[in-house]
Amino acid sequence: MKIYSQLAFGWKYNQDKHQAVIRKKSQIDFIISIIIAFLIIFIVAQFLAYLDKTIQSPVTGKAISFLNPFEIKAAQAANEEAIKMIQSHREINIVKGKGFTFEVGFKNLTNYSWTQKGAKSVDLKIAPPYSRHTIVRHQFWRDESTPAWLKESEAKPGWLAYYRFALEAPKQSGVYTEKFVLVNYSTGKILKGSEFEITLNVWDSESQFPKVQARSGAASQPANQIVAPAKPAPSPAKNLSVDDQGVVLTDQVLLGRTCLDLSVKRFRISTAVSMSLIEDCKRIGIDLTPNIYIDPQDENSGTNSLANPVQPLPPADMPLDSQFGSSDGPIMRIGLFHTMGPITIKANGSFKIKDQNNNILENISAHQIADFNYNFSTQTYIFNSSATTSYLRLIPDINNTVFEIISYESRPAWNPSLNDNKFLGSLEIRYAAQTGRLWVINELPMEIYLKGLAESSNNSPMEYQKALIIAARTYATHHYERQTKHANENFILDAKYDQVYKGYGSQVRLSQVSQAVEETRGLVVTYEDKVAITPYFSHSDGRTRTWSEVWGGNVPWCKGVVEPAGYNKTTLYGHGVGMSAHGAIILAADHGYNYEQILKYYYTGVALKKIY
């Protein structure tokens, strides 16, 4: 019985073991079957995808989609991340080696804001591979493959994002095409829908340019103006027109152009410029609400009947006496700064860009941004869509226009939130061949120049302010009469070392300076009836120096004098010749001196004379 039980147990054990082996084998076979099935599906899918891209219909010439035979593109459209709304040029006729400025605008279709810098920045790059050489690269590009960053600091979803950059024509004539894309900086991903191309027709000279028929009433193109090629425009869709550059005028293009045109003007709300139009512009990223102008008469009457855009009004803090007249003195030319980089300028009023022969190259509207570059190798001035070998002059249509040099940083240490980059008068962008510098020059009348000086604080005694302004006017007049100090750089005085000039921002802040200018208008220091040179400095060590001690030679009115009583001796700060500012303040505040007495204390044997 015992033996039988052992045999029965052994048989049962072997049977269970055999069944376990069979079950394990079945599981392995099932897993292998699943793997094979996935491999078959993957191979078939890849094959169909290949066919989907390569096989074309013999009838339509379009690709036949096995995966989407009815060409349903909704999903594809939903994946687009950018759509090009505005492109300044399709093709460009240009002389070899010349440069020009190009602008393109994309609507942000992503779910995040594009930024100019940082992790979410979206950059404009050449189409990959990025390491390749492109023959249209300009020296102002951000790097070898990146022509531009986002123009604004941010473009939110649904907004228009603008990219403006310079291109340089190849050195050999011919037809060249370059492609560009938008790239997410942090991921390196190209945004779908962002690719576009630019075609350059490069010629040996302008005389070879195709002739372009000007539109009725349009002015002829100035020299070196980049124009569209004379070729048949692409066939537009039904009921759509084409402009003279071959751009199909779709609803999107027309809306974009309308909004851009309004963005440089101020206007009243009316049936012509309605709130619905403003909302449409906002949806494509152009906010016009800051440009709305409400006339007090309209408010009182409860109507907004005037539809025509109007010139922007001067800001409320604009001095009323800034209209230039003959009593404002001679025209001064002040070297503001020199630069190797691009210059970006706008103004609160319209102005003209002129060449050195006073020919009008372009009209710029109020608040419209104008970009300027200089090619140092070809000595070419590049602005917006034009290029010229002539230096450029920016002339306002009205005298109280304020220019703002957006690309210029001049922030006072005591308040970095301020930026003294605004100037009255005219501007000139000019290369100085003798020094190899590109200068921005401010041209304006003497009295307006003096109001922009920042040589004193606003709370200094008024008689001191008057003495200082007369000394500054005399110093400037002396150099105006000679025009030799900066002759090799085409201006009379600079804004930093000769006299500290900060322009319109300083004029608004330092109202005491403007008052001193007005109350001494045209007064200068003379010696033997000739305009004297009147140096001044901050403070002395107790006495001023004679001219000969510091610079040699003999200037009889610049003799050394002892500082007035009450002057605390300090370290000499400045050259020490002429009027000591600290001593002059003591004479005005503690000794009751007026401006004439102060000037005659520091400049020996002089007189004052009103010259205009």
- What CATH number is given to the structural domain containing 117? 2.60.40.10
Task: State whether the Cα torsion 112-129-47-60 is positive or negative.
Answer: positive
The secondary structure of 406-458 as a DSSP string is TT-----TT-TT----EESSEEEEEEETTTTEEEEEEEEEHHHHHHTB-SS-T
Check pLDDT > 70 for residue 364.
yes
**481 occurs within a structural domain:** yes
Q: How many domains does the chain have?
A: 4
pLDDT for 457 = 85
The band of 318, judged by pLDDT with boundaries at 50, 70 and 90, is very low
Q: Which of 167, 156, 161, 39 is nearest to 92 (CA)?
A: 167
The band of 13, judged by pLDDT with boundaries at 50, 70 and 90, is low
Please name the residue ranges forming H helices in 483-533. 504-509, 511-519
Asked which of 210-219, 414-423, 529-538 is least confident by mean pLDDT, the reply is 210-219
531 with 419, same domain: the answer is: no
**393 occurs within a structural domain:** yes
- Given 387, 410, 444, the domain boundary residue is 444
* Contact present, 213 and 227 (Cβ < 8 Å): no
pLDDT for 348 = 95
150 with 199, same domain: the answer is: yes
**45 occurs within a structural domain:** no
Asked which of 110-119, 213-222, 236-245, 328-337 is least confident by mean pLDDT, the reply is 213-222
Q: pLDDT tens, 443-502? A: 999 999 999 999 988 889 999 999 999 999 999 999 999 888 999 999 999 999 999 999
Check pLDDT > 50 for residue 216.
no
pLDDT for 537 = 92
For 582, residues 6+ apart whose C-beta sits below 8 A from its C-beta are 538, 539, 540, 563, 567, 570
463 with 605, same domain: the answer is: yes
* Contact present, 210 and 229 (Cβ < 8 Å): yes
Q: Which residue has the higher pLDDT, 541 or 212?
A: 541
Check pLDDT > 70 for residue 261.
no
117 with 140, same domain: the answer is: yes
- Length of the chain (residues): 612
One-letter identity of residue 44 = V
Euclidean distance between CA atoms 118 and 124, whole angstroms = 14
Count H helices, E strands: the chain?
12, 27
Q: Which residue has the higher pLDDT, 103 or 62?
A: 103
Rounded to an integer, the average pLDDT of 251-265 is: 63
503 with 565, same domain: the answer is: yes
pLDDT for 291 = 62
Euclidean distance between CA atoms 101 and 353, whole angstroms = 16
463 with 592, same domain: the answer is: yes
Task: State whether the Cα torsion 300-304-306-312 is positive or negative.
Answer: positive
DSSP reduced 3-state for 385:
coil
Check pLDDT > 80 for residue 267.
no
Rounded to an integer, the average pLDDT of 285-291 is: 65
Q: Which of 394, 499, 397, 512 is nearest to 449 (CA)?
A: 499
For residue 129, cis peptide bond before it (omega within 30 degrees of 0): yes
Q: pLDDT tens, 83-108? A: 776 676 656 888 888 877 787 888 88
Hunting for tokens 């509207």 — which residue is that? 365
Rounded to an integer, the average pLDDT of 254-267 is: 62
Question: What is the residue range of 124's domain?
Answer: 78-208
Cα-based distances in Å from 404 to 59, 401, 407, 505: 60, 10, 9, 10
Cα-based distances in Å from 281 to 277, 307, 448: 6, 17, 39
Euclidean distance between CA atoms 14 and 10, whole angstroms = 6
The band of 321, judged by pLDDT with boundaries at 50, 70 and 90, is very low
484 with 587, same domain: the answer is: yes
* Contact present, 139 and 375 (Cβ < 8 Å): yes
**11 occurs within a structural domain:** no
* Contact present, 424 and 400 (Cβ < 8 Å): yes
Residue 6 phi, psi (nearest 5): -65, -40
DSSP reduced 3-state for 135:
coil
pLDDT for 276 = 56
The band of 12, judged by pLDDT with boundaries at 50, 70 and 90, is low
pLDDT for 105 = 81
Q: pLDDT tens, 103-114? A: 788 888 888 889
Check pLDDT > 90 for residue 536.
yes
Which of 7-16, 261-270, 380-389 is predicted most confidently? 380-389
Return left, alpha or beta for 507; rule: phi > 0 is left, psi -120 to 50 is alpha, else beta: alpha
The band of 42, judged by pLDDT with boundaries at 50, 70 and 90, is confident
pLDDT for 50 = 58
pTM of the model as a whole: 0.51
Task: State whether the Cα torsion 191-192-193-195 is positive or negative.
Answer: positive
* Contact present, 386 and 355 (Cβ < 8 Å): no
One-letter identity of residue 451 = K
Q: Which residue has the higher pLDDT, 51 or 151?
A: 151
Q: Which residue has the higher pLDDT, 509 or 135?
A: 509
Q: For residue 149, how many other CB atoms are within 10 A of its CB?
A: 20
The band of 408, judged by pLDDT with boundaries at 50, 70 and 90, is very high
Q: Which of 474, 429, 465, 462 is nearest to 333 (CA)?
A: 429
Cα-based distances in Å from 63 to 54, 69, 195: 7, 10, 21
- Given 401, 420, 444, the domain boundary residue is 444
**595 occurs within a structural domain:** yes
**72 occurs within a structural domain:** no
Asked which of 28-32, 379-383, 453-457 is least confident by mean pLDDT, the reply is 28-32
pLDDT for 252 = 59
* Contact present, 403 and 345 (Cβ < 8 Å): yes
Q: Which residue has the higher pLDDT, 599 or 273?
A: 599
pLDDT for 331 = 94
Q: For residue 196, how many other CB atoms are within 10 A of its CB?
A: 17
- Given 176, 208, 240, the domain boundary residue is 208
608 with 494, same domain: the answer is: yes
pLDDT for 525 = 97
Q: Which residue has the higher pLDDT, 248 or 283?
A: 283
pLDDT for 11 = 53
Q: Which of 588, 524, 589 is nearest to 597 (CA)?
A: 588
Euclidean distance between CA atoms 421 and 444, whole angstroms = 15
The radius of gyration of the chain from alpha carbons, rounded to an integer in Å, stands at 36
pLDDT for 580 = 95
432 with 464, same domain: the answer is: no
297 with 406, same domain: the answer is: no
Q: Which residue has the higher pLDDT, 595 or 321?
A: 595
Euclidean distance between CA atoms 604 and 465, whole angstroms = 20
Euclidean distance between CA atoms 535 and 231, whole angstroms = 64
**117 occurs within a structural domain:** yes
Instruction: Report the chain's terminal Cα–Cα distance, integer Å.
Output: 143
Q: Which of 372, 442, 461 is nearest to 401 (CA)?
A: 442
- Average pLDDT over the chain reads 78
423 with 395, same domain: the answer is: yes
Asked which of 89-98, 415-424, 570-579, 590-599 is least confident by mean pLDDT, the reply is 89-98
**437 occurs within a structural domain:** yes
Check pLDDT > 50 for residue 225.
no
133 with 204, same domain: the answer is: yes
